[in-house]
Amino acid sequence: MTLLQQAAGFPGAHSVLDPTGPQAALIKERLWDPMYGTAAVTFALVLAALFWAAFRRRRSSEVPDDPARERGMRVTVGLATGLTIVVLFVFLVIDAKVGRAITATPGHDALQIRVTGHQWWWEVQYRDSLPQRWVTTANEIHVPVGRPAVVELRSTDVIHSFWPPNLTAKRDLIPGKENSLWLQADRAGVYRGQCAEYCGHQHAKMAFLVVAQPVDSFADWLTRQRDTASTPTDSLTRRGQEVFLGSACPMCHAIAGTPAGSRVGPDLTHLASRRTIAAGTLPNTRGNLGGWIVNPQSIKPGAKMPPNNLDPDDLQALLAYLETLR
């Protein structure tokens, strides 16, 4: 799977079995490993008993319906049933304890991130006491390594579910209700997350990346994201900006520093700094972006973005401009 992702140009690991955070580690070490071990041992025991029963030779002295034998069998079945109940009850207790440990509130220095689910992409916002320092991005969550982050989950349309398997458990995003969870990455890297609650046509193509980076480079990233978009310097990118503002784009998209400020679609202020487009559907390359702009419905049928019939020269200028949005 990882090989396949790398071959397709997708960064990011996506596995419950490779935990990078304390919560995912709890799930794996306290729940998955013991359950897997117990299930494997039980399976082996059941198979052994089955084979023993199937292949054992019946002794000629055996009497059918011998009361002593019947009693012995009853005791065996009773013991096995009792053992099963005990094992399941132990797991119930472990499950509740792990659940408590995962949801326990982290310390006060936690980073606050607001994630809003839309059909079919993720809006990510880093808030600040000063609104002009807010950072809005899409489908890519950056976190500093070793520092817990509280993720506030909201939805604007239907129920989605936030699930980065390497980092933490799932949690639903419910319209009209605020949920939250926290996560922490202990290793730098790019981890993939996915919507885990069926939410319509493109539920499968509603992915996001969690980019865990060292504290310094995270701070740099956040500072750069606070900047407004750079003003176009040459004639091509200037034309690209005119195309952007003059077409249907600003009806839904925002670019800070320009009159485009709509919040319907993903914020494009730092589009070129993101690794994927269309919520993890395609790597963010010029060709993919061009194809996406001209006809998103051929890539992600049902996506809320309409097709755009742009003049080839206009499209090239627009792409050149979008590539400057680092």
Contacts to other proteins from residues 142-161, by CB under 8 A: 156-158
**Three-state SS annotation for 256-301:** CCCCCECCCCCCCCCHHHCCEECCCCEECCHHHHHHHHHCHHHHCC
Q: How many Å from the N-terminal Cα to the C-terminal Cα in the chain? A: 30
Q: Which stretch binds other proteins (CB under 8 A): 33-41, 74-82, 122-130, 301-309?
A: 301-309
The strand pair at 189-195 and 160-163 is best described as: antiparallel
Q: Which residue has the tokens 């487009």?
A: 277
Smallest distance from the beta carbon of 257 to other proteins, in angstroms?
Answer: 21
Would you count residue 261 as binding other proteins (CB under 8 A)?
no
Q: Which stretch binds other proteins (CB under 8 A): 1-9, 49-57, 189-197, 295-303?
A: 295-303
Per-residue binder mask for other proteins (CB under 8 A), 200-239, x = binder: -x--------------------------------------
Smallest distance from the beta carbon of 251 to other proteins, in angstroms?
Answer: 5
Q: Which amino acid is at 320?
A: A
For 115, half-sphere exposure in the C-beta direction (CA atoms, 13 angstrom radius) is: 34
Would you count residue 76 as binding other proteins (CB under 8 A)?
no
* Contact with other proteins (CB under 8 A) among 89, 105, 302, 326: 302
Would you count residue 178 as binding other proteins (CB under 8 A)?
no
CB closer to other proteins, 112 vs 247: 247
Order the strands of the 140-144 sheet from edge to edge: 140-144, 207-213, 189-195, 160-163, 171-173
Interface with other proteins (CB under 8 A), residue total 21
Would you count residue 9 as binding other proteins (CB under 8 A)?
no
Residue by residue, DSSP assigns 133-199 as: G-EEEESEEEEETTS-EEEEEEESSS-EEEE-TTT---EEEBBTB-EEEEE--SS-EEEEEEE-S--
The answer to whether residues 313 and 257 touch, using CB atoms and an 8 Å cutoff, is: no
Per-residue binder mask for other proteins (CB under 8 A), 240-259, x = binder: -------xx--xx-------
* Contact with other proteins (CB under 8 A) among 84, 223, 231, 309: 309
Would you count residue 176 as binding other proteins (CB under 8 A)?
yes
CB closer to other proteins, 38 vs 156: 156
Length of the chain: 326
Give the distance from CA 267 to its chain's centroid.
19
Distances (CA, A) of 281 to 117, 160, 269: 16, 17, 20
CB closer to other proteins, 76 vs 309: 309
Phi, psi for 233 (deg, rounded to 5): -105, -35
Estimate the crossing angle of helix 67-103 against helix 33-55, to 10 degrees. Answer: 160
Would you count residue 287 as binding other proteins (CB under 8 A)?
no
Would you count residue 264 as binding other proteins (CB under 8 A)?
yes
Smallest distance from the beta carbon of 44 to other proteins, in angstroms?
Answer: 50
Would you count residue 84 as binding other proteins (CB under 8 A)?
no
Would you count residue 313 as binding other proteins (CB under 8 A)?
no
- Among 244, 253, 250, 217, smallest CA distance to 316 is for 244
Smallest distance from the beta carbon of 248 to other proteins, in angstroms?
Answer: 4
**Interacting residue ranges for other proteins, rule: CB under 8 A:** 156-158, 175-176, 201, 247-248, 251-252, 264, 297-298, 301-302, 304, 306-310
